[in-house]
A and B are shown apart, each in its own frame.
Chain A
Amino acid sequence: MLFNSLDFAIFFPVVFILYWIVAQHKISRNILLLVASYVFYGWWDWRFLFLIFISSLVDFVVGQKIYKTENKKKRKGFLMVSLLVNLGFLVYFKYSNFFIETFVDTFRLFGKELEVSTLNIILPVGISFYTFQTLSYTIDIYRKQLEPTKDVLSFFTFVAFFPQLVAGPIERASHLLPQFYKTYKFNYNQVKSGLLLIAFGLFKKIVVADRVSVLVNQVYNGPEAYLGYEIILATILFAFQIYCDFSGYSDIAIGVGRTMGFDLMKNFRSPYLSKSITEFWRRWHISLSTWFRDYVYIPLGGSRDGKYKTYRNLFLVFFVSGLWHGAAMTFIIWGAIHGVIIVVEKSFSKQRRTIAKALGFEINTVSRKLFYIIITFSIVCIAWVFFRANTLSDAITIIQNGFHLKWSQVLNFYDLGLNAQEFWTAFFAIVLLVVFEWTHQNVSFTKQLAAQPLLFRWCFYLMIVFTLIIFGVYGDMAPKEFIYFQF
């Protein structure tokens, strides 16, 4: 079920009402949430519910076993079971074909043609997200950072919790699981703030992301036909598309959770206002970057074993992160670019400051911040080319064509799939979004709004609803899914 669908518009109010009817009775509440979550997921393909069920069951049992055993070998053995089952599903469903294709391509490089056909496998939606979420539970127990739960219902609900099931945020058991043990009283302000967040997420998704996707798709699906500024425009718009698509989903997920009393972790903090790639990853998909930090970077040694091993570990984390995003060479290169830049940033942090100073940017000035923001955004955009391109050769074509700059290309902007009305709607929506994020980095908008008179607040709510209705892209022509569902 999609957040931006009529099905969800009916599903959520029904669940919301039932939820608050049974909210004070923990078991009934959790049964309702589990059933609702399974319905939500099964709406696509009920057969994949078995995967979630098996993952939940294995990790629940393994968690108990690890906790009860002091024998290191046995503990490791149990952890391996959890890793094998969860990563096994992930590798089989997501990476089998990629590995087969890579295998065949490698032999082709040496002039040998292998006759191996790929498997006919459907990728279960959100498998990367719930696999990581449930894995963190067993790993934390193994590390003795978490006690296993005895409440099987809460655990199953934690794994399948519908707001964040298919595209995160990837929650840690230590943060989310205890929330299923508690009951909540209806909090008017919390529900209101959740609904506002849902509206904000929908704005990002249906007003910005789905609108600009038309232009981005046109250029990226036929890159050989576009040059210079057309490519630059499409790439910048893709940067906003993917941000609005993904952070929009996260906002809706957090908002939906909040309306039911749950606190899901923040997943984005205005990432395009970052002044370095290192900072970018502290602001972009926070739940994933912290997951990689805690379960990949630190186990690899983190920054404990000297400069070069730190660089290696950093690079490896981003390499794996690229692979996590998709089973294709383009994603691996995207991850590798980020890895390399982060290593470069670490190695040349002093030189970076010197260059800025030499260019006349004084410390702590807006111009210096802007300079860093623009440089960082440009690097992120170049990396996005690999992320978005359908194939590696498309990505190379896009990079090559991007250098053929001619002012006349600006005149073609309305021929890229968005007419003048749509183009300027997208432009103003993005400007509005950037200004909003810039001005509200440390200010709570909900509190600001709450301080306004009732009439103003209601007019504002109506304005939001009608902005979504009139400027939203929905109906037959609208893109159907969130980009991150594929990961």
Chain B
Amino acid sequence: MIKFSIKTIIFSTIVFLLVLCSGKLFLNKSNVQSFRSEQYKMLKGDFDIGFFGSSHVFCSYDPRVFENELQLSAYNYGVAAQNLHTTLAIAKQEIKKRNLKLGIVDIFWETLREPPFSNRISSFQLQSIDYMDFSFEKIQLFNKIFGRDSLLNIFPTLRDHALWKDRVFQSNYYLKTDIDYYKGFKPPLYFNNNVWKNLVNDKKIENKSNEIDSKYQLSLGEKQIIDDIIETFKKANVPLLFVSAPTHKKYINNKDFNYQDLIKVYLKQKGANFLDLNDYWDSLSLHLFDFKDDTHLNTNGALKVSQHLATYIKKNYNISTNSSIDLSKNRYALLENPKKNGAVLYKKIENPKINKQTGVEKLILYKDLYGRLEILLAGDSLKDISIEVAYDVATNKKRQLGKDIQRKIKKDRFSVKEKLENLKNEGLYSGYNYKGSEFKVVIVDCPFSEVRNLSIAIGDKAPKEIVVSKKYLKLK
């Protein structure tokens, strides 16, 4: 009996550990969350600031701005449709794991929904839960969202076992060149006029006017989850700031505004700090071009919001840190001081013709956090820019590349042509604005070390003038 009991315990433990470890194989590797999780693990050390919440978070708060302006390390934990119940569990885990010094939790009506959720919202929570460490909190959260009967589904191996062929032999996530990835942050890089017009035409966004009962109050459950978050940070002695990322005021309905008021009143009552960035629409000069859609910002909008929030933190919180920050991958630090912060190439464009046609005065090349080549074109006032980046590709060994590059990987010369248009006809858009100078970004999705015989040509209508020509790129 004793022999059997010991063997059963050992065998069950092995099975449990194998089920736990094999879970990774059954996760959707072509999903961005899988990629983010890999990158997260590669980031060693503590994070001073953690941003928690839904897609509003990963589209609004750019860790680069906080790192550059506050000299504090930051990580964006935002995951699509993340509910505050999930946020709380993740925050609990990360406060300890990454020794956070400030927690920023984005809150708005959708994040406050109480379980049971719809199937869609429930399955979105998996994008967070699947990447959490296995813990009692994770089990509790899973139970809350999916119920006791589905508890075994906490293990991806059991939940998605039927997809074994697809999952085990699945290719990894391809980084997209129109997404601005950085430590969990991932909004679209540019405003896309066509996307916006399609959204409006398909009535996926429309001028809403649904009103809620003015007598509506936050439910006990909604208040409870807010209280739990406040209590968690308080217990851990970590300052907490609630924020609400701006949504496009033309397309937002009254329900959202009423909810924001309710949240504001309740948080005030609880003595919690709350910064509703919707209140700063005018002072931030938010514009259609700052949005991806009616509720999400793009890099341009995120830059404005992040700068504002960084200033607010500087003014209201005194955070000391021991963590060292590597600014060589930080776009904003490189724009301010390219040489000091380790740009791979910094070039002043001294050709007056190009200066006049495009407004570009300096060009900065650097290796971004994901090993890609990023090109910054900066000047006082940028105009329409045509740019062509051409290079040979050495054999790729390390990272899954986009299919277009894979096709070219057999040492063909690869080139990317882009037209970085200003949208003056449509409004005011010209380029990103950071500390008084304008800049535009081109991302080359090829591992930096594999770029050979690089040449960059720019111009206004066509990329006529070669401004960079390099056999290979070397980090400084």
Q: Which residues of A contact B (CB under 8 A)?
A: 6, 20, 186, 188, 191-192, 421, 458, 461-462, 465-466, 469-473, 475
Contacts and interface: CB of A to CB of B under 8 A. Distances in A.
**Interface class of chain A by DSSP:** helix
B44 interface: no
Interface stretch (B13-21, B173-181, B187-195): B13-21
B164 A186 contact: no
Contacts of A191: 4
Interface of B: 1, 3-4, 11, 14-15, 18-19, 149, 152-153, 157-159, 161-162, 164-165
17 contacts: A6-B149, A6-B152, A20-B1, A188-B3, A192-B4, A421-B165, A458-B14, A462-B15, A466-B18, A469-B19, A469-B157, A469-B158, A470-B157, A470-B161, A472-B161, A475-B153, A475-B159
Nearest to A185: B1
B317 to A, nearest CB: 47
Given A6-B149, A470-B161, A472-B161, A462 B1 contact: no
A187 to B, nearest CB: 10
Contacts of A461: 11
Nearest to A188: B4
B18 A462 contact: yes
Given A421-B165, A470-B164, A475-B159, A458 B1 contact: no
Given A188-B4, A462-B14, A475-B159, 14 more contacts: A6-B152, A191-B4, A421-B165, A458-B11, A458-B14, A461-B11, A462-B15, A469-B19, A469-B158, A470-B157, A471-B161, A475-B153, A475-B158, A475-B162
B53 to A, nearest CB: 30
B65 to A, nearest CB: 44
A313 B162 CA distance: 49
Contacts of B11: 458, 461
A186 B3 CA distance: 11
A186 B157 contact: no
Nearest to A6: B152
A469 B4 contact: no
B407 to A, nearest CB: 27
Contacts of B161: 469-472
Contacts of B19: 469
B468 to A, nearest CB: 49
Contacts of A466: 18
A473 B1 CA distance: 33
Contacts of B15: 462, 465
A471 B161 CA distance: 7
Contact of A186 (B4, B158, B159): B4
Which 3 pairs, one residue from A and one from B, show the smallest C-beta to C-beta distance? A186-B1, A421-B165, A470-B161
Contacts of A462: 14-15, 18
A462 to B, nearest CB: 7
A21 to B, nearest CB: 10
A313 B341 CA distance: 98
A290 to B, nearest CB: 34
B42 to A, nearest CB: 29
Contacts of B14: 458, 462
Nearest to A477: B162
Contacts of B162: 473, 475
Name, among B4, B11, B162, the residue most crowded by chain A CB atoms within 10 Å (CB to CB). Answer: B162
Contacts of A465: 15
Contacts of B3: 188
A458 B13 CA distance: 13
Contacts of B158: 469, 475
Contacts of B165: 421
A471 B162 CA distance: 7
Name, among B4, B149, B159, the residue most crowded by chain A CB atoms within 10 Å (CB to CB). Answer: B4
Name, among A458, A465, A466, A470, the residue most crowded by chain B CB atoms within 10 Å (CB to CB). Answer: A470
A199 to B, nearest CB: 12
A20 B5 CA distance: 11
A188 B157 CA distance: 30
A114 B19 CA distance: 61
A127 B161 CA distance: 35
Contacts of A470: 157, 161, 164
Contacts of B164: 470-471
Nearest to B158: A469
B476 to A, nearest CB: 49
A302 B164 CA distance: 54
A5 B153 CA distance: 14
B148 to A, nearest CB: 9
B172 to A, nearest CB: 21
A473 B163 CA distance: 11
Nearest to B149: A6
A461 B11 CA distance: 9
A20 B153 CA distance: 31
Nearest to A9: B152
A475 B159 CA distance: 8
A6 B159 CA distance: 14
A55 B305 CA distance: 77
B31 to A, nearest CB: 20
Nearest to A468: B161
Contacts of B159: 475
Nearest to A476: B150
Contacts of B4: 186, 188, 191-192
Contacts of A421: 165
A188 B7 CA distance: 11
A471 B15 CA distance: 16
A20 B158 CA distance: 30
Nearest to A472: B161
A469 B19 CA distance: 9
Nearest to B157: A469
Contacts of A20: 1
A421 B1 CA distance: 42
A421 B168 CA distance: 13
B261 to A, nearest CB: 41
A6 B149 CA distance: 8
Name, among A192, A421, A465, A469, the residue most crowded by chain B CB atoms within 10 Å (CB to CB). Answer: A469
A192 B149 CA distance: 29
Nearest to B4: A188
A331 to B, nearest CB: 33
A421 B15 CA distance: 25
A188 B1 CA distance: 7
A75 B11 CA distance: 55
A196 to B, nearest CB: 13
Nearest to A21: B1
Contacts of A473: 162
A78 to B, nearest CB: 44
Nearest to B22: A466
A215 B118 CA distance: 30
A471 B165 CA distance: 11
Nearest to B26: A470
A462 B15 CA distance: 7
A417 to B, nearest CB: 14
Contacts of B152: 6
Contacts of B157: 469-470
A457 to B, nearest CB: 11
Nearest to B151: A6
A256 to B, nearest CB: 16
A129 B4 CA distance: 33
A358 to B, nearest CB: 48
Nearest to B166: A421
A20 B8 CA distance: 15
A467 to B, nearest CB: 11
A435 to B, nearest CB: 23
A251 B4 CA distance: 21
B224 to A, nearest CB: 29
Nearest to A211: B162
B169 to A, nearest CB: 11
A461 B162 CA distance: 21
Contacts of B153: 475
A214 to B, nearest CB: 11
A424 to B, nearest CB: 10
Contacts of A471: 161, 164
